[in-house]
Structure 1
Amino acid sequence: MRTLTGVGSTPLSGVGTARWYRPEAGLTLPDRPDPSAVDAVAELARFADARDAAREAIRDARDRAAERVGEEEAAVFEAHEQFLDDPELVDDIKAAIEDGTPAEHAVHDRFAAAIDQFEALDGQMAERADDLRDVRDRLLRALLNIGTDAEADDGAALADLGDLPAGTVLLAERLTPSDTAELDPDAVAGIATVAGGRTAHAAIIARSLSIPAVVGVGEPLREVEEGADLLVDGTDGRVVVDPDAESRAAAATDAAPPVTERVATADGRPIEVAANVGSEAEIAPAAERGADGIGLFRTEFLFYDREAPPSEEEQYEAVTAALSAFPEDRVVVRTLDIGGDKQVSYLDLPDESNPFLGRRGIRLSLDEHRDLFETQLRALLRAAASEGGEGLAVMFPLVSRLEEVDAAAEAVESVAAELAAEGVDHAVPELGAMVETPAAAFLADRLADRLDFLSVGTNDLTQYVMAADRENDGVAAYHDPLHPAVLRAIDRTASAAAGTDAWVGMCGEMAGDPALTELLVGLGLDELSMSAVTVPAVKNRVREIDSAAARDLAEEALACETRAKVRELLDG
């Protein structure tokens, strides 16, 4: 038995048979011809056709990913499509072709340079190199007229990634987001990669699929032979070669939710551990993992991939289905959050130069799309009066002004009066706001006076506090929720609500990282909501925490001047 170490990405364990995935084996380029022999016009046409084919494949991958893991995770493929139109990439490739370089070589060369630039950087920006590889490989497959199968060392073709044999532990140099989105979680017992990080898009998709994963194992992983017995421990970041019977037995029990009851810290402070849900398909797995309800029910999935908005009845049925799955727990529904990176074609959203700072979230609901907002509120208030509806809570996204909260609350009252006049059963649920903007953090005390709860959305809060577009790779190094400025915004929010009747939660990747649980408890959060797969690990971590020690840790983190110091503190 031999143990390799890496970074645990999905906190589950699995045992199976090693199968290597080497997509590069099928992407061997032909020898370069003499530039004078290259028909530049024909090569430019081939490149144009390859872009069209890649675009279609990316859109298909986005649709499949949205259906399987949710719209939020599938959004990465929209960024992939943008790479196809990036003038720096496209113009350079065309220029190389016009100088006598065949299209496949021009694509390979230009993407190689871009990948090298990303990998020279730290953190999430380096991990975005995998997204470039994904787009590059789609273009090369189209240009070389080959499929997606890859060759294994022994010459046998590796099966299509969507149809791997049961009990496969997939090994690779790295996996792209589209590779990972193809995997069948019922067949794949685990993933281990030589390179990669926990916040890479492929790792996020693997978590959404509940596939045990360890990334960044390094060169020792290459020594693992095809067909070897492996255990992948995504909690402790271990890959065990030829695991013994005891290790296998421990991994086999990991599939069951370890904690189904609510939990408290070692000194008795209760912490709610809920799940983020982005589609109806995610509701049952969240319940199976022991989530204390739903802390973020993203309603956007109801509006995508259709010709017109969902009806009131469709929305009512989706929400009541979630309530039925968690009859004793809270279900927090976020009202429609579109705009920015979330577009809906039939709504004709405004074309803005900086959509993340434009009309999105509650701004659109109170203005251009008031009709959609009121229809959604009708469905929600009706759901609040259904069986189990007392657990419903509704929160408004991208709040930055008190006037918005007041207007939203007035809309709720107006819809309630309308339903009453129609003789329709309804109830007013808990109302809350997402804290995603610095304005909301600064106004947290006033928001807590008006509302039943606040929920910190760390992805957007980090983006706005750091003035760093989370989709802009040029500033990816700034997008770190552990930056002291972001931590202080979280602390300010929780402190402002302390002593009031309002509770404070958090949703996003940060909430689902067990390594950060003590810090978040110390910052005063009452609820943590995350990908369902991480619920058991976070619950177990909560039980180990002493509240006083957690607060001391938080105070030390808040005193740090750089994110590097915060990470050093947490790693220590």
Structure 2
Amino acid sequence: MSRTVTGTGATPLSDVGTVRWYRPDESLPETTDAGTPEEERANFEDAKETAREEIEAERERTRDLVGEDEAGVFDAHLQFLADPQIEASVEDGIDDGLAATAAVREAFADPITQFESMDGMMAERADDLRDVRNRLVRILTGSERIDLSALPAGTILLAERLTPSDTAQLDPSRVSGFATVEGGRTSHAAIFARSLGIPAVVGAGAGIEDIQEGTEVVIDGNAGEVIVDPDEAVRADAASGRDVEIHTDAVETTDGVSIEVAANVGTPAEIESAVEHGADGIGLFRTEFLFLNRGSPPSEDEQYEAIAETLSAFPDGRVVVRTLDIGGDKPIPYLDQAPEENPFLGERGIRRSLDSDADLFRTQLRALMRAAASEHGDGLSVMFPLVSTVDELDRALEAVDEVAADLEEADVEWARPEFGVMIETPSAVFMAEELATRVDFFSIGTNDLTQYVMATSRENDRISYLHDPRHPAVLRAIHRIVQVGHEHDCWVGMCGEMAGDPSLLKLLVGLGLDELSMSAITIPDVKAGVAATSQADAATLASDALAATTISDITQLLNQ
């Protein structure tokens, strides 16, 4: 008899398949005989080197298949692998007569427990530690790794949890979906699922633990449901859930208001996915990926070619390129980045471009202004990240003028693209009128804007109720930006996660956004949603939401 287990939907996809359980801990031997301390230390050092090579290879594969942001999780794995406290704990265990395998298990036990006691993304660090621990144990014991890349076609993978290295192996052509007992929408497994286009439900709890291997189930990543022994109608609906209708044309609301639906990209692979999912253009081109996994910055020509190639992928669309945004959670090893107690409130974004990275900024501006003169360069827009003051914007635009003069003097072909500001700080909201007189557009980064408006970390589940863009303060900030932008002939877009949330689409349409930019996989649903929405009705909803004073009131309005 059919039954349904509810969790958190991670992807707007569904499919049907046959269950296979993944229990990696059961495949690892518990103990090995100890040799001499010298032998065990040598074994540990050899295992670390092998693990490092594996992690680096997986990082590169993930970067190519999924994206630079997602691949960055393996940097944390490398840090844990070389953590001096963990290394010292392993050494102590070996000196006490333990085999390297047992010493590794003991050394990782307390850190894993500590992270598990935390909330949000910090709790998910426990999965990263497990990943590194299991890798070392597997190498030390000579155990074979379970190859998740070779699962039978039509597999629905069930697991207590999936680590980054687990999820990065999954082949979307073989895996019809997965569900986990643990995890949330911001877990690595959920993020990878969205990037890979795999239906997924996370945090389904104990309700999936008694599903037997070989059982037919449906994974509905939209509803967040695992349907066990589905009937024929449910199977048919789920099977069609992979066949997403792609809308390649621009869309407008039922009452004729056009809204651009674009993609956020950070790798060449994501550009291809954006085209395949019907993106009108690129609403956020993260240039950081050009600077990563290398020993020195990319040249002007390398940057020019990457941008010109992206423009050619959208010959009739707009490509919004964000200038280099490092600092915070985006370190680049070969740049001088001093440790900061709170990097999100430190030297990042335009602050570095106007100071320590001024030469890199000018080189990037040269590449961008040359690309604006290329075959499809009239579609190029450039935005500056984390602008907090009018002075920062003025200095950035002065750099643009100076670069233009240099190009002119050198007789290099160039053009001036649109310039805009990424609105991420409360100060930018308050100074919106002054900023709008200087630029062509605003793009709202709701992840950071929510974090700064609500004074809350998106990594802390204890106060996750505050890190929610539906809060009245955040909605009113968005409304002000749209209002001021339009008053000064600036178009206004949104490139934060809020833009791709189907449950908030009508509200965003009502607030008057001209453009929404998101992960490619959500574009078809958002385009379909825009085409089914009345802007007049949406404006009424937005007006009611802006008048509300609590998030519960706004949630109730959205649920209606």
Which bracket does the TM-score occupy, shorter chain normalised?
Answer: 0.7 to 0.9
Displacement of 1:86: 6.1
Letter paired with 1:532: A
Distance change >3 Å, CA 134–CA 231, structure 1 → 2: same
- 2:68 aligned residue: 71
Given candidates 349, 366, 378, the residue that maps to 1:390 is 378
CA contact (8 A) 1:231 1:248 kept: no
Q: CA RMSD in A?
A: 3.5
For the residues of structure 1 that align with 2:464 and 2:128, how far apart are their CA atoms?
Answer: 13
- 1:201 aligned residue: 188
Distance change >3 Å, CA 571–CA 253, structure 1 → 2: closer
Letter paired with 1:22: R
Letter paired with 2:14: S
Given candidates 156, 161, 165, the residue that maps to 2:148 is 161
Displacement of 1:477: 7.3
For the residue of structure 2 that corresponds to 1:274, the secondary structure is strand
For the residues of structure 2 that align with 1:502 and 1:374, how far apart are their CA atoms?
Answer: 25
For the residues of structure 2 that align with 1:107 and 1:564, how far apart are their CA atoms?
Answer: 47
Output one character per residue of 1:395-439: Cα deviation in whole Å (capped at 9) or x when no partner.
Answer: 111211212211222222232333333333322111111112222
Distance change >3 Å, CA 445–CA 375, structure 1 → 2: same
Q: For 1:406-425, what aligned pairs fall within 5 Å after superposition?
A: 406-425=394-413
Letter paired with 2:225: R
Distance change >3 Å, CA 39–CA 442, structure 1 → 2: farther
For the residue of structure 1 that corresponds to 2:334, the secondary structure is helix
For the residues of structure 1 that align with 2:46 and 2:452, how far apart are their CA atoms?
Answer: 39
Given candidates 220, 232, 241, the residue that maps to 1:233 is 220
CA contact (8 A) 2:120 2:459 kept: no
Output one character per residue of 1:115-160: Cα deviation in whole Å (capped at 9) or x when no partner.
Answer: 55655666555555433433343343345443431xxxxxxxxxx1
For the residues of structure 2 that align with 1:444 and 1:107, how far apart are their CA atoms?
Answer: 54
Letter paired with 1:9: A
Distance change >3 Å, CA 485–CA 327, structure 1 → 2: same
- 1:61 aligned residue: 58
- 1:134 aligned residue: 131
Displacement of 1:2: 2.8
Q: Does 2:172 correspond to 1:185?
A: yes
For the residue of structure 2 that corresponds to 1:191, the secondary structure is strand
Q: For 1:245-256, what aligned pairs fall within 5 Å after superposition?
A: 247-248=235-236, 251-252=239-240, 254-256=242-244
Letter paired with 2:19: A
More off after superposition, 518-527 vs 534-543? 518-527
Output one character per residue of 1:45-100: Cα deviation in whole Å (capped at 9) or x when no partner.
Answer: 76666555545443333222222222122222233444456677677777777777
Distance change >3 Å, CA 558–CA 107, structure 1 → 2: farther
Given candidates 482, 485, 488, the residue that maps to 1:500 is 488
Displacement of 1:519: 3.1
Letter paired with 1:421: E
Distance change >3 Å, CA 174–CA 559, structure 1 → 2: farther
Q: Does 2:168 correspond to 1:171?
A: no
- 1:364 aligned residue: 352
CA contact (8 A) 2:120 2:460 kept: no
Output one character per residue of 1:325-350: Cα deviation in whole Å (capped at 9) or x when no partner.
Answer: 11111110111122232222333344
Letter paired with 1:369: D
For the residue of structure 1 that corresponds to 2:209, the secondary structure is helix
Distance change >3 Å, CA 188–CA 120, structure 1 → 2: same
For the residues of structure 2 that align with 1:44 and 1:570, how far apart are their CA atoms?
Answer: 59
Any stretches of 5+ residues in structure 1 without a counterpart? 150-159
Letter paired with 2:485: A
Q: Does 2:320 correspond to 1:332?
A: yes
CA contact (8 A) 1:125 1:477 kept: no
CA contact (8 A) 2:370 2:415 kept: yes
More off after superposition, 97-106 vs 481-490? 97-106
Q: For 1:109-508, what aligned pairs fall within 5 Å after superposition?
A: 115=112, 124=121, 126-149=123-146, 160-240=147-227, 241-242=229-230, 244=232, 247-248=235-236, 251-252=239-240, 254-468=242-456, 479-508=467-496
For the residue of structure 2 that corresponds to 1:461, the secondary structure is helix
Letter paired with 2:18: T
- 2:17 aligned residue: 16
CA contact (8 A) 1:290 1:535 kept: yes
Displacement of 1:106: 6.0
CA contact (8 A) 2:121 2:460 kept: no
More off after superposition, 62-71 vs 354-363? 354-363
CA contact (8 A) 1:11 1:212 kept: yes
Output one character per residue of 1:12-51: Cα deviation in whole Å (capped at 9) or x when no partner.
Answer: 23343332221121135239x9xxx998887777666655
CA contact (8 A) 2:120 2:461 kept: no
**What is the TM-score normalised by the length of structure 2?**
0.87
For the residues of structure 1 that align with 2:463 and 2:79, how far apart are their CA atoms?
Answer: 17
For the residues of structure 2 that align with 1:556 and 1:310, how far apart are their CA atoms?
Answer: 49
Letter paired with 2:15: G
For the residue of structure 2 that corresponds to 1:343, the secondary structure is coil
For the residues of structure 2 that align with 1:180 and 1:125, how far apart are their CA atoms?
Answer: 19
For the residue of structure 1 that corresponds to 2:522, the secondary structure is helix
For the residues of structure 1 that align with 2:117 and 2:551, how far apart are their CA atoms?
Answer: 19
- 2:515 aligned residue: 527
For the residues of structure 2 that align with 1:484 and 1:38, how far apart are their CA atoms?
Answer: 63
Letter paired with 1:232: I
Output one character per residue of 1:141-196: Cα deviation in whole Å (capped at 9) or x when no partner.
Answer: 345443431xxxxxxxxxx1223333332222221122111222233222222332
Distance change >3 Å, CA 485–CA 55, structure 1 → 2: farther
CA contact (8 A) 2:43 2:100 kept: yes
Letter paired with 2:279: A
For the residues of structure 2 that align with 1:332 and 1:138, how far apart are their CA atoms?
Answer: 40
For the residues of structure 2 that align with 1:186 and 1:300, how far apart are their CA atoms?
Answer: 29
For the residues of structure 1 that align with 2:398 and 2:39, how far apart are their CA atoms?
Answer: 62
Letter paired with 1:186: S
Distance change >3 Å, CA 128–CA 340, structure 1 → 2: same
Letter paired with 2:373: A
For the residues of structure 2 that align with 1:82 and 1:518, how far apart are their CA atoms?
Answer: 43
More off after superposition, 78-87 vs 532-541? 78-87
Distance change >3 Å, CA 144–CA 463, structure 1 → 2: farther
For the residue of structure 1 that corresponds to 2:487, the secondary structure is coil
For the residues of structure 2 that align with 1:144 and 1:66, how far apart are their CA atoms?
Answer: 29
Letter paired with 2:399: A
Percent of aligned pairs sharing the same letter:
59
CA contact (8 A) 1:125 1:476 kept: no
Distance change >3 Å, CA 263–CA 520, structure 1 → 2: same
Distance change >3 Å, CA 564–CA 106, structure 1 → 2: farther
Distance change >3 Å, CA 508–CA 77, structure 1 → 2: farther
Distance change >3 Å, CA 515–CA 102, structure 1 → 2: farther
Displacement of 1:310: 1.9
Distance change >3 Å, CA 508–CA 39, structure 1 → 2: farther
For the residues of structure 2 that align with 1:110 and 1:27, how far apart are their CA atoms?
Answer: 17
Distance change >3 Å, CA 130–CA 263, structure 1 → 2: farther
Distance change >3 Å, CA 465–CA 57, structure 1 → 2: farther
Letter paired with 1:420: E
CA contact (8 A) 2:220 2:238 kept: no
CA contact (8 A) 2:388 2:428 kept: yes
Displacement of 1:289: 0.6
